[in-house]
Every structure is written in C-alpha cells, then in structure tokens.
Chains A and B, each alone.
Chain A
Amino acid sequence: MKMKLITAAVAALVAASPAMADLTFSSLSYRTGPYAANGIPFADGYADYFTLLNERDGGIGGEKINLVECETGYNTEKGVECYESTKGSGALVYQPLSTGITYQLIPKATADGIPVHSMGYGRTSAKNGKVFSNIFNYPANYWDGASVAIKHLLDINGGDISGKKIALVYHNSAYGKEPIRTLEELSKKHGYDLSLLPVDHPGQEQKSQWLQIRRERPDYVIMWGWGVMNQVAIQEAVNIRFPMENFIGIWWSGSENDVKPAGEAADGYKALTFHNVGSDYPLYEDIQDYVVDAGLAAGAGDQIGTVLYNRGLYAAMLAAEAAKTAQKIHGTSAITPAMMRDGMENLEMTEGKMTALGLPNFGPSFKVSCENHGGDGFGAVTQWDAKAGEWKMITDYMQSDQDVLAPLVAADSEAYAKENNITPGCN
C-alpha cells in the first residue's frame, strides 16, 4: 500500500507538465486570495479570447491553442513553481499579472529565451529593449501612468498645479514604489508637493493613512493599489468625505469590483486606462456566440465586459497578434518562444488591424521595436458613474511626458545592464 502511494505520488509529481500542444500559452492567474477580485476577470478575459480563436478560427494560423492555467495566488514562490512547471510545455509567452513575479522572471526568462509581456506593470525600464531583450511592457507602463495622471491634473487646473498638495497612496511593494521616482521628478518640474503614504500587503488596514489624508487635506490623491486594497481605500475615502473626483487610481485600481462595494458614494472616482471600456464591440458578439453560448466561458462567466476582463482580452489579443507576426516572419505556423519574441518585437498595432479584429478604437496604435519595447505611453482617464454602474472615458488618449521619462528609463536600464553585465544592443 505504502509502495503504491509512493509510486502514485512520484507519478503525480512527474505528470506536472501536460501533453505538448501546438501553441502553448500560459496563464499565471490568481483566482484565490486577497487579490482574486482583480485576478479573476483578467484571467477570464485572457482565457475567453483564446477559446474564441480556437472555436472560431481553429487557433492561430491553423495551430490550435493550448492554454495552461496555473494558480499563483499573487505569491512569488508559487509563481516560480508555476513558471518552472509550465516552461517544460513550451509556453510561448508569460504574463504573470504581478510585478513581484515579473521581477523574478526577468532574469530567468531571459536566460531561458522566453518572452515576458508585463502589460502596464512590471519593471518600467524594460521599455529599453536594448537591455531587456525578452521583456516587453507595451502599450504603457507605470511611469507613463504617473505622468498621464499629472497631465490630467494640469488639464483640469488650466496648466498650473504649483503649490498643490498631491498624496500618493501606494501598495508597499515593488509595484507601489514604481511611480515614486517619476512623481518626484515631475514635482520638480510642475512644483507640486508630494506626500507618500505606503499601505502594507494586503491592504485591509488603511485607517491611519486616511486619517493622515483627512488631517493634511491634499488637493489630490493618486493611488497605486491592487486587490482588496482598492476597495478598502475607496471606502475609506468615502468615509472621510474626500471628494471622489480628486481621487485618481492607476489602471489597476479602476475596475467595477473596486468601486461597487462603496456603492453610490464612489460616484466620480477616476482611474487611468490604456484601453477602452465597455462591451460595445463586434468582437463581443462572437464571444457570446462561440464562447458563452457554447458553455466554454472561463470562470463563472459573469465578468464579460468589465474593465479587467477587457484588459485580459486585450492582453490575449496582443499575444495572438504577436504570434501571427512571428508566424509571418519565420514562415512557420508552429512557432517557438524565440520566434514569439521576434514577433513581439516587430508587433505593430494599427487602427485598421483592431477594426478587422472587431475591436475598433479599443486601444492606442503603436509599433514595437528593439529600441522601444514599451509603446508610446498613451493613457486616458475614466470616471465611475455609480448610477449607470459603468466606467466612462472622460478624456482622449494623452501621451506621457517623454522628456522626463526617457532619461529615467535610460538611467534605470543602464544601471540594470551594469549590475548584470549586459552589453546593450540590438541583434
């Protein structure tokens, strides 16, 4: 009996890697833990798009897609385990949806020759493809986000925010600390006062931070939150009667699940985004026909059209487009992770391409190159309408302040190159 158990155990550990399929995509998702409220819609959107491609088009370029999902719980140790277990199955690209796990994977994936797409998160200076050959963060990154938020404040203040007090409420981790340097640089340029209020993981306890905000009365609050921290922060802001229209979250702090718990009072809360909101696109009809009605929707199927679902869908769409580009470059439909990397580096998203996919005006147009793995840094501001229960875009796409950001990206990536003995260059 004991022997049998041991044999079964060993067999189970060996069976970690599933059968080889034609095109394997991995989804390091988190449907459990304090970040699940945000992890689930993204994972659903990511999975549903690939299911749609399989059902409607028979995969990408005639190759079926095999999506391997692995639960990380937003935990780096589990993330490493997931990376190692899915690596063997030939996963083409990793999108861990966690800045912490991305930092882990940057050296590992580069050494293994697998591309990582940290869309709107991860290490900002990965924009410099000369140093970070396998890491991509198009179409926008955290520093773009910080800059777009400040730009929006400039716009509504007639171009002058000197002397204004801005508070940054951030997740006390690599993720939340990312924008600090940019906001400090921008405060030198625009003359606002910046105060920093860290919130420790997981962020359920924020009474003292918001008490401080009530005392110091900043004109604006910018938030870098994720998971349960978002809901708590918005509720606390409501509790101290902070004017919601002066409260701006990064794109990870602006989903339905974040604002709904605060009810009507959350009306007017703003969040950034780098893609469009809502489900009014031709592609969603296909999703309804081929995925939802066929009973193939991922998860509970109740997240379709929410902000983070759209983002997951957008991430999957960009991955699929990069795979198509790679197939075209290398003239083979069965691509490898190295070919996928080339596809991502030569990806070009145009309005025409997105319209053809059934997603007109869904995201910005951009072109990836070896020098620029991060797109052009366009972002827009959305606002929550609690009565209608939906997010509304209130600005056009604005480009971040490249004069300030470009030197920061160059400096940070050079420091990384030096630390790790990388000779920057394009091959």
Chain B
Amino acid sequence: MFYREAGDFKTSYVDDNQTFPIKFDRYRYYFVLFFAFLIVPVVINDYWVNAVFMPFLIYSIAAIGLNILVGYCGQVSLGTGGFMAVGAYACYKLMTSFPEVSIFFHVLLAGGVTALVGVAFGLPSLRIKGFYLAVATLAAQFFLVWLFNKVPWFYNHSASGQISAPERTVFGIAVTGPHTSAWATYLFCLVFVTICALLARNLTRGMQGRKWMAIRDMDIAAEIIGVDPLKSKLSAFAVSSFFIGVSGALFFSVYLGAVEVGEAFGINKSFLILFMVIIGGLGSIFGSFAGAAFLVLLPVLLKNVLVGMLGWPTDLAAHLEFMIVGAMIIIFLIAEPHGLAQLWRVAKEKLRLWPFPH
C-alpha cells in the first residue's frame, strides 16, 4: 500500500536514476542515517560500541570491498586478511611517522597503499580464473602475513612484534588510543562506512560497475563488446583493496588498538569475510551489511543468551555457538542460495503488491 512507485512522480532524469526510487525506501534510508548519526551516539556505551557496533561497521566495509571483487567482478579472493593487514600496518607506519597529520587522512592513505598492493596481487587474475585465482590470492594472504612478521621495520622494531596505536585525535577528540569515548569512535567509523557504502553503491550503478558485471558474467563476451579486461579487473582489485585497507586500518587503530598480524589477520579472517559476502548476498551492498551483521552479531547474541540469561557453562555455550551458527548458515544457504539480500529483494517485491497480490 505504502511501498510502491505509483504516485511518486519523477520529473527529471536525476530523480529517475536515484538510488532509492521508491519513496518509502528513501524515507527509510534517511531515517536509518538520522538514527545512526544522531540517536545512537547519544545512547551508546563502551560495551555496545566495542562488542557490537564497531566490529559490525568495520566488517561491513571489508565485506563491501570484497563484494566488489567477488560479487560484482567475479574474481574470487582469499587474500582479504592479508590486505587488511596491509591497511593496518600502513596506517601504523603513517600514524607513527607523521603524527601531526589527522588520522582521517592516514586511514584513507592506508586504503590507497592497500589498493596498490591489491593491484599487484591482482595481476595473476588476467591469466587465471575461478578456483585457481583463489589459490593465487591465498599466496597473497600468506606472503603478507609472513612479511609483517619477518621485517621489523613494519612494526618499528618493537620487541614483541606487536603494533599498537598511539592516541590520535580528530578535531581535538581522541578516536584512537585508550582515552576514547564510545560515541567518538563510533561516529568516526560510521563516517567511513557511509562514505564507503555511498561510493560503492554509485560505482556499481555506473559504467564501472557495468563493466565489472560484464566481466563477471562472461569475460569473452565483455571483451568483444569493448570492455578492457585489464582495466576492469585491476580497477576492481584496486577499489576492493582500498575498502579492505580502510577497514583494516580502522580495525587496528580504532577497534583493537594493538594487533599481532598472525592472529588478527590470519586466513580465518579471509574466510570470515568471504562468508559474510556469500551469506549476505553476492553483488549487493545491502547484502554486505546483512552478512556482516549476521556473522558479528549472532555469536554475541548467542553468547549473551546462553551464558548471560540461561547461565550455561561458557565452554558448552561456545561449542553450541559454533553449531548453531553453522547450522544457520546451512539453513540459510539451502533456503536462499543468493543470500540475505535476495530475501530482502523478495520481501520488497511482495511488499509492492501487498495487500492485493495477484
């Protein structure tokens, strides 16, 4: 009844091409932005930001980045953890070398550095496809982790090999280091998430996105109609790695504050983010958010229900958590192989006809 195009007249091409053509969607989007930017920061506390919101926001950026590569351009990558590590270590080196520059630019620059590294490791994609490419990116994962462990310059020769984020401020408010307030770190991450999501959404709606999708659907056909595979594949690697680098930088500097490359950016991280993309839905920005929410929030929720409310032993709860999350992944993928985003799409289609479906 409310969710339909009818009656929402578009009088210009700009209106016609907007991201959310349906009025209800548009208002919902404004409401989410309003809620996230103005309501949440007022009520948020340390627990919510560190256990729920920050991991969700940061993994969302990583999932958007990987979704561009895997979902939109069809290049399977298992190097996400390694690229996040590049973002984190680039951010660390920049933070400690140029303490006077705002952390905001360091995060962006860290993304830029990761984009360059991503392009370098994307070169094999011009020759190999599918699972073989996945193995080639796996090499990136192991090589990068090894590199950051091996070369002391990356961790400023600290005895433990750990990197830890010194205090940095934005407009005089600390966003990294121990003396941060919950709302500041939350807003800092939220700004990056919003920028990244807008950028990704518009890139994928435009010519670049169409080129990526053409390559994904059939690369030979795409080449015949004039899509340059070199440029499109490498640009997908660059953009994807940029997002992943930004998320890695935030993960290290704002969220954890101290990381150890093998533990924080191991192969598990690559798989985790790939699962987010697959469960959320390949080729969907909303899916990236949904997948990140599913895999970040569900374990926390289960833990709090089983241990906090039911008072079960922690080890039993931890094991059950694995089983429940695993079972839910299987159930979701059987019920809807195209991920949570497809469920959302189907729901929207039904809403359009409601309450008079034919």
Contact = CB atoms under 8 A, between A and B. Distances in A.
A111 B46 CA distance: 13
Interface stretch (B47-55, B223-231, B335-343): B47-55
B208 interface: no
A76 B318 contact: no
Contacts of A36: 315
19 contacts: A16-B308, A18-B308, A31-B318, A40-B315, A70-B314, A71-B318, A76-B256, A80-B256, A85-B51, A85-B304, A88-B46, A103-B162, A107-B177, A110-B178, A174-B260, A201-B266, A412-B159, A420-B167, A420-B177
A164 interface: no
A11 to B, nearest CB: 8
B51 A103 contact: no
A357 interface: no
B260 A100 contact: yes
Nearest to B177: A107
B41 interface: no
A85 B307 CA distance: 12
Given A77-B55, A84-B50, A177-B159, 15 more contacts: A12-B305, A13-B301, A16-B47, A75-B263, A76-B264, A77-B264, A80-B50, A81-B51, A81-B300, A104-B257, A123-B160, A173-B262, A174-B162, A178-B159, A198-B149
A76 B308 CA distance: 20
Interface in A64-116: 69-71, 73, 75-77, 80-81, 84-85, 87-88, 99-100, 103-104, 106-108, 110-111
Interface string B253-285: 001111110111010000000000000000000
B127 interface: no
Interface in A171-188: 172-174, 177-178, 180-181
A85 B256 CA distance: 15
Nearest to A73: B318
A100 B163 CA distance: 11
Interface string A115-130: 0000000010000000
B75 to A, nearest CB: 27
B6 interface: no
B317 to A, nearest CB: 7
Given A12-B301, A81-B51, A104 B258 contact: yes
A71 B314 contact: yes
Interface string A6-25: 00010011011110000000
A201 B265 CA distance: 12
Contact of B47 (A88, A172, A174, A412): A88
Contact of A16 (B260, B304, B314, B318): B304
Which 6 residue pairs across A and B have the least CB separation, nearest first?
A31-B315, A107-B178, A111-B178, A174-B160, A71-B314, A81-B51
Contacts of B255: 80
Interface in A144-186: 172-174, 177-178, 180-181
Interface of A: 9, 12-13, 15-18, 29, 31-32, 36, 40, 69-71, 73, 75-77, 80-81, 84-85, 87-88, 99-100, 103-104, 106-108, 110-111, 123, 172-174, 177-178, 180-181, 198, 200-201, 299, 412, 419-421
B315 A32 contact: yes
B346 to A, nearest CB: 16
A15 B304 CA distance: 7
B180 to A, nearest CB: 9
A420 B178 CA distance: 10
Contact of A71 (B161, B262, B263, B315): B315
B169 interface: no
A374 B330 CA distance: 50
- Which of B164, B166, B266 has most A Cβ within 10 Å? B164
Contacts of A200: 262
Contact of B46 (A69, A84, A110): A84
Given A111-B179, A172-B149, A71 B317 contact: yes
A108 B257 contact: yes
- Which of B255, B313, B315, B317 has most A Cβ within 10 Å? B315
B201 to A, nearest CB: 26
Contacts of B313: 31, 69
Contacts of B177: 107, 420
A128 B159 CA distance: 16
B47 A85 contact: yes
B50 A173 contact: no
Contact of B263 (A12, A107, A108, A173): A173
B301 A104 contact: no
A181 B159 contact: yes
A99 B258 CA distance: 12
B166 A420 contact: yes
Contacts of B162: 100, 103, 174
A168 B302 CA distance: 41
Contact of B314 (A29, A173, A198, A201): A29
Contacts of A111: 178-179
Contacts of B263: 75-76, 100, 173, 201
Nearest to B266: A201
A9 B309 CA distance: 11
B227 to A, nearest CB: 40
A32 B47 contact: no
Given A12-B309, A174-B162, A81 B260 contact: no
B358 interface: no
B319 interface: yes
Contacts of A173: 161, 260, 262-263
Interface in B284-334: 300-301, 303-305, 307-309, 313-315, 317-319
A77 B14 CA distance: 44
A13 B178 contact: no
Nearest to B161: A177
Contacts of A420: 166-167, 177
Given A100-B260, A103-B160, A108-B178, A32 B319 contact: yes
